[in-house]
Chains A and B, each alone.
Chain A
Amino acid sequence: MARFFASVAVAALLGVPAWAEVSDNKVRIGILNDQTGVYADFGGLGSVEAAKMAAEEFGGTVLGAPVEIVSADHQNKPDIASNIARQWYDTEQVDAIMELTTSSVALAVQALSAEKKKINLVTGAATADLTGKACSPYGFHWAYDTHALAVGTGGALVEDGGDSWFFLTADYAFGYSLEENTGAVVKEKGGTVVGSVRHPLAATDFSSFLLQAQSSGAKVVGLANAGLDTQNAIKQAAEFGIVQGGQRMAGLLFTLAEVHGLGLETAQGLTLTESFYWDRTEASREFANRFKERTGKMPNMVQAGTYSGVLHYLKAIEAAGTDETEAVAAKMRELPVSDAFAESGRVGPNGRMISDVYLMEVKTPAESKGEWDYYTVKATIPGDQAYIDPAKAGCPLVQ
């Protein structure tokens, strides 16, 4: 002990911190996401809380330096997000930015992070380009992507007889990417895409699009949108008797948070894909219950994924013995991912975290035994099938 104090005293005299491995004596992680808009429940403050839980689990310090979680609302606007990210990196000693809901935002911040040589880890955005043609040596993608959603929901429904599809697609990068990926899976499995219609973000009224879907005669109406848009589309589809008419609704990006918002009465029978369900393993239940105590809600895959991502980043710093970007990024690719989110995940050379994803069916109100008892796990899709092989993802880093 005396030696420790002595070394601290010497270090203080020399003006060198005792934990010289960590830049500016702290590890600061920024959670940047939508906290007030259509995706505020999808990740939002829940993700911030999940990140704090990961930091606390680490004892609040790594290599003797305190871990701080800061957060900001990017309002789903890439320009606002880039400004915040720049400010964080340049003047506020933020070491890594995570969550990044909305694909356009994630792409912009990932490019900026690569330029600044900082680590970013995406859990809230969907586009598979993040670890494809837009990959970065310091960029990571956790939790899910458009490819995994397409393979999960698209693949399962075609196999189940849903071989003709009509898409309701959100009119921006994410929607196109999801429609394209799912369409490809449907065709690969021998199905057809009979049509699609693009709607503006936050369209509120979907009846007109739903009528088009109805008259198309497709067996499956694929909702290539997210958040409040998907909720409204599903609610209105029930009104127009789409499901009673024999068509199936597929929420391509639909999580526990939206099911909760919609209620089982309306959401029952929906097929969806998530990489996390709170009531699946002992570890996931334990984490989820602690999360619920703090937030009042059970986590979805984005929030649980953020927890996992922060934890993995801290583990990598510890293993590397420094928070220097190159070394940490290398360790992140090397270390396995094993926590409450995923038992046996691994990070590919393109930055994609590969873990199993699950095909879920939303329970009927009668089947549900309690608040948050929402899913039946219908199938487990191994990570290797759910995600694109890193060598074939089109990432220039992996050739």
Chain B
Amino acid sequence: MIFGIPIQAFMGQILIGLINGSFYALLSLGLAVIFGLLRVINFAHGAQYMLGAFVALLALNWLGLNYWFALILAPLVVGAFGALLERTMLSRLYQLDHLYGLLFTFGLALTLEGTMRWYFGASGQPYAAPAALTGAVNLGFMVLPIYRGWVILASLIVCLAVWALIEKTRLGATLRAATENPTLVQSFGINVPMLLTLTYALGAGLAAIAGVLAAPIYQVSPLMGSNIIIVVFAVVVVGGMGSIMGAIVTGYLLGIAEGLTKVFYPEASNIVIFVIMAIVLILRPAGLFGKEA
């Protein structure tokens, strides 16, 4: 027994926290990439996550493409859409205050959500998990749906791959340099605007992957993004704006914190992350993993 909760239930809740944390990590990772390299607060991230889920749904209904294709197709489609937006609209705002980027992406999120709601209704539609991942295994302390286990694994792989790409490769180094001093990097003959477009597309694509992963768990609904995006922003703030590793680790940690709150004091489960955010902002304004500016 831990605090009056049987140890088995406790373990179960930690595992569930990890699963939710996987979504937080994936989504906050995309946000952190976009903020860290473009200095854009991407409020359309939730909408891009929702679009990812819808690409999976429509690919299945219209083209008969299954989950595994969707996992590749959705980030490509949503990433291309993101690139188009960045090229034609968002890039014009880089010279202005950050607020303009925020307002633009916020308006974009509302537009996308409203459009999807017009076509598909608020209730959304169900999306079945792939046959290979249905069913559940009994771990002794809880029944773990196989699909949820897959979510943890997939998100870990994607998170680590993106982290390695940005922190450990030459491309990542160029990217980071381009943010620090675009003029200098450009003078080496590197196409900086193109790099920025690709970065935004990468961020949007990550949101889409999270969307496909979420489709079999949640109802695929136009509202699914707005329900989660505010939490994800809090995760990024706690982790430290722009810190890639910070976003990943904080995503998992806050998922667990939220999961445990659901056992001890469920009514507070939707605010616990914001309480943690407030405390972190008071004690460490740059976030847990942020560098003091």
A208 near B13 (CB under 8 angstroms)?
yes
B125 near A: Cβ within 8 Å?
A: yes
The contact string, 1 if C-beta is below 8 Å from chain B, for chain A 260-273, is 11110110000000
The total number of A-B Cβ pairs within 8 Å is 110
Which listed segment binds B: A142-150, A154-162, A234-242, A280-288?
A: A234-242
Task: Flag if B145 contacts A258 (CB, 8 Å).
Answer: no
Q: Does A309 contact B (CB under 8 A)?
A: no
The smallest C-beta distance from B156 to any residue of chain A, in angstroms, reads 19
B218's partner among A198, A235, A241, A260 (CB-CB below 8 A) is A235
Of A171, A207, A240, A261, the residue contacting B219 (CB under 8 A) is: A261
Interface status of B176 (Cβ within 8 A of chain A) = no
**B270 lies within 8 A of A198 (CB):** no
Residue of B with least CB distance to A261? B123
Q: Are A262 and B223 in contact (CB under 8 A)?
A: no
Query: Nearest CB to that of A262 among chain B residues?
Result: B126
Binds B, one of A183-191, A209-217, A324-332: A209-217
A203 within 8 A of B: yes
**Complex interface: stretch among A37-45, A87-95, A335-343:** A37-45
Tell yes or no: B107 within 8 A of A by CB: no
| Any A CB within 8 A of the CB of B6 | yes
Closest to A236 in B: B217
- Which of B74-82, B165-173, B261-269 is the interface stretch? B261-269
- Min Cβ gap A158→B in Å is 25
Q: Which residues of A contact B126 (CB under 8 A)?
A: 235, 261-263, 265-266
**When the two chains form the complex, which single residue of A39, A199, A202 contacts B227, counting CB atoms closer than 8 Å?**
A202
Q: Does A197 contact B (CB under 8 A)?
A: yes
B153 on the interface (CB 8 Å rule)?
no
Q: How far is the CA of A263 from the CA of B227 in the complex (A)?
A: 22
Proximity bits, A42-58, B CB within 8 Å = 1, else 0: 00100000000000000
Asked if residues A228 and B122 are in contact (CB atoms below 8 Å), the reply is yes
A36 close to B (CB within 8 Å) = yes
Interchain CA distance A231-B143 in the complex, whole Å: 21
Tell me the chain B residues, 91-138 only, with Cβ under 8 Å from chain A.
114, 117, 121-126, 128-129, 136
Interface string of B16-56 (1 = CB under 8 A from A): 11011000000000000000000000000000000000000
Decide if B123 touches A240 in the complex (CB within 8 Å): no
Residues of A within 8 A of B19 (CB): 207
Residues of B near A79 (CB, < 8 A) are none
Does any Cβ of A come within 8 Å of B228's Cβ?
yes
Q: Are A240 and B122 in contact (CB under 8 A)?
A: no
| Cβ contact of A205, chosen from B20, B114, B124, B129, cutoff 8 A | B20
Q: Which residue of B lies closest to A214 (CB)?
A: B143
Chain B residues lying within 8 Å of A211, measured Cβ to Cβ, are 9, 12-13, 16, 142
Which residues of chain B are within 8 angstroms of A44 by Cβ–Cβ distance? 122
Contacts A197-B266, A204-B228, A228-B221: A239 and B145 contacting too (C-beta < 8 A)? Answer: yes
Contacts A36-B117, A198-B267; A240 near B136 (Cβ below 8 A): yes
> Among residues 180 to 227 in chain B, which have CB atoms less than 8 Å away from a CB atom of chain A?
217-219, 221, 223-224, 227
Chain B residues with Cβ below 8 Å from A40 are 117, 121-123
- For A212, give its contact among B148, B221, B228, B263 (CB under 8 Å): B263
Q: What residues on A are CB-neighbors of B145 within 8 Å?
A: 239-241
Give every chain A residue within 8 A of B67 (Cβ-Cβ).
none
Total number of B residues with any Cβ neighbor in A under 8 Å: 40
B122 lies within 8 A of A207 (CB) = no
Query: Measured between C-beta atoms, what is the minimum distance from A301 to chain B in Å?
Result: 16
Nearest chain A residue, comparing its CB with the CB of B260: A208
Q: Which residues of B contact A265 (CB under 8 A)?
A: 126, 128
Instruction: List residues 251-277 of chain B with CB under 8 A from any CB of chain A.
Output: 259, 262-263, 266-267, 269-270
Q: Are B125 and A232 in contact (CB under 8 A)?
A: no
B233 at the A/B interface (Cβ < 8 Å)?
A: no
Find A228's partner among B6, B124, B266, B269 (CB 8 Å cutoff).
Answer: B124
| Bound CA–CA A207/B151 (angstroms) | 14
Note all chain A residues with C-beta closer than 8 A to B16. 205, 207-208, 211
Contact partners of B148 in chain A: CB under 8 A: 207, 239
Q: B147 interface residue, CB < 8 Å from A?
A: yes
Q: How far is the CA of A263 from the CA of B220 in the complex (A)?
A: 12
Q: Min CB distance, A224 to chain B, in Å?
A: 13
Q: Is the C-beta of A200 less than 8 angstroms from some C-beta in chain B? A: yes
Contact status A241-B9, CB under 8 Å: no
Neighbour of A261 across the interface among B114, B117, B125, CB < 8 A: B125
Q: Point out the residues of chain A lying under 8 angstroms from B136, CB to CB.
A: 239-241
- In the docked arrangement, what's the CA distance between A40 and B123, Å? 8
Complex alpha-carbon distance, A262 and B126, angstroms: 6
Contact assessment for A228 and B123 in the assembled complex, using a CB-CB cutoff below 8 Å: yes
Please give the distance in Å from A282's CB to the nearest CB on chain B.
28
Chain B residue numbers with a CB within 8 Å of A239 are 129, 136, 145, 147-148, 217
Given A202-B227, A204-B228, A262-B219, decide whether A209 and B124 contact each other with a Cβ distance below 8 A: no
How far apart sit A84 and B125, CA to CA, in the bound complex (Å)?
31
| Nearest CB on B from A106, distance (A) | 19
Given the known interface contacts A209-B266, A241-B136, the answer about A228 and B13 at a Cβ–Cβ threshold of 8 Å is no
Docked-complex contact A41 and B269, CB < 8 angstroms: no
Q: Closest 9 A-B residue pairs measured CB to CB?
A: A261-B123, A40-B122, A200-B270, A208-B262, A41-B123, A239-B145, A263-B126, A207-B16, A197-B266
> Can you list 9 contacts pairing A with B, beta carbon distance less than 8 Å?
A38-B223, A40-B117, A41-B121, A204-B224, A204-B227, A209-B266, A231-B219, A257-B123, A261-B123
11 additional A-B pairs beyond A36-B114, A199-B269, A208-B13, beta carbons within 8 Å, are A37-B223, A39-B122, A40-B117, A200-B270, A211-B9, A211-B13, A211-B16, A214-B143, A232-B219, A245-B143, A261-B126
Enumerate chain A interface residues (CB-CB to B < 8 A).
Answer: 36-41, 44, 171, 197-200, 202-205, 207-209, 211-212, 214-215, 227-228, 231-232, 235-236, 239-241, 245, 257-258, 260-263, 265-266
